[in-house]
Homo-oligomer: A and B are copies of this chain.
Amino acid sequence: MFVRTPADLGAVIRDRRKQLKLDQAAFAKRIGVSRYWVILIERGHPRAELSLVLRALDALDIQLDAGVRETDRRRPRGVDIDAIVAKAKGGKS
A interface residues (Cβ-Cβ under 8 A, vs B) = 1-6, 9, 12, 16, 20-21, 45-51, 53-54, 57-58, 61-69, 71, 82
Contacts and interface: CB of A to CB of B under 8 A. Distances in A.
Contacts of A45: 50
Contacts of A58: 4
9 contacts: A3-B54, A4-B58, A6-B51, A20-B82, A46-B51, A47-B49, A48-B49, A61-B68, A63-B68
Contacts of A20: 82
Contacts of A62: 66-69
Nearest to A62: B66
B51 A50 contact: no
